Amino acid sequence: MDAAAQLFSQKRFGEVRMEEIALAAGVGKGTVYTYFADKEELYFAVVFDGITKLNEDLRVHAASALEPEEKLRDVVHGIISFLSQNRSFFRLMSVEDSRSHGGKGDNRRRWREERSVQLEIMETVLRDGGELGVFSFRDHRLAASVLRDMVRSAMMYSRGERSTEEVTDSVLGIFLDGVRSHGTQGTERPE
């Protein structure tokens, strides 16, 4: 599956051949077919393996007894850390997000459900923090969607050139504090 993830993330689905996957994995093509009926089944096994692991990690982070801001940081850091360590999966996730948005079929439906888990986890952390007076969002679902998209954008922008902590701090700094200067110098704009 690791070999398949690498190849699927480097090429379009139609360009990847089962022979290539077998060769990259160091096994015979028949061995691959022993475990997977076809290339599509292998592709979705790779995709769902990654998203399931990520969601399991996020559930652990969200269940912690940390204060709301620390818990939110832990969740965001968990996503960034996972995606940084699994760049092939991150590329597949980006592709699958664009395909499954309006896609039909059981695999596309399941993908949307698995992706919504992350949104629900973030939404719950934001809502719980709101109930404690730490966060003040009117629409927790919208705030969670914005935050999830910020994480994805930051991951694409940083391309592994920044540490997980730097990316986490940047995303949360912008999300929680905005980009407006909070200094006492007024609202002058730099030229």
Q: What is the DSSP string of 88-143?
A: HHHHHHHHHHHHHSS--SHHHHHHHHHHHHHHHHHHHHHHHHHHTTS---S-HHHH
If one compares 20 and 104, the residue with the highest pLDDT of the two is 20
With cut-offs at 50, 70 and 90, classify the pLDDT of residue 12: confident
Per-residue model confidence (pLDDT) at position 54 = 93
Q: Is residue 186 pLDDT above 60, yes or no?
A: no
Cβ atoms of 175 and 166 closer than 8 Å:
no
Q: How far apart are CA 128 and CA 168, in angstroms?
A: 20
User: Mean pLDDT over residues 114-126, rounded?
Assistant: 93
Per-residue model confidence (pLDDT) at position 191 = 46
Q: Is residue 134 pLDDT above 60, yes or no?
A: yes
Domains of the chain: 40-177 (1.10.357.10)
Residue 164 structure tokens: 């997980």
Handedness of CA 33, 37, 42, 48 (dihedral sign): negative
User: Mean pLDDT over residues 56-82, rounded?
Assistant: 94
Mean pLDDT of the chain: 88
User: Please, what's the b/e burial string for 176-186 (b: 16 or more CB within 10 A of its CB; e: otherwise)?
Assistant: eeeeeeeeeee
Residues 15-60: pLDDT tens digits?
A: 999 999 999 999 999 999 999 999 989 998 999 999 999 999 999 9
- Nearest 5°: the CA angle 127, 131, 135 is 65
Per-residue model confidence (pLDDT) at position 90 = 87
Per-residue model confidence (pLDDT) at position 100 = 66
If one compares 182 and 163, the residue with the highest pLDDT of the two is 163
- Nearest 5°: the CA angle 75, 126, 50 is 35
- Nearest 5°: the CA angle 104, 110, 116 is 110
**How many C-beta atoms surround the C-beta of residue 42 within 10 A?**
21
Q: What global pTM score does this model have?
A: 0.83
Q: Is residue 184 pLDDT above 60, yes or no?
A: no
**How many C-beta atoms surround the C-beta of residue 63 within 10 A?**
10
Q: Is residue 183 pLDDT above 70, yes or no?
A: no
User: Mean pLDDT over residues 82-102, rounded?
Assistant: 82
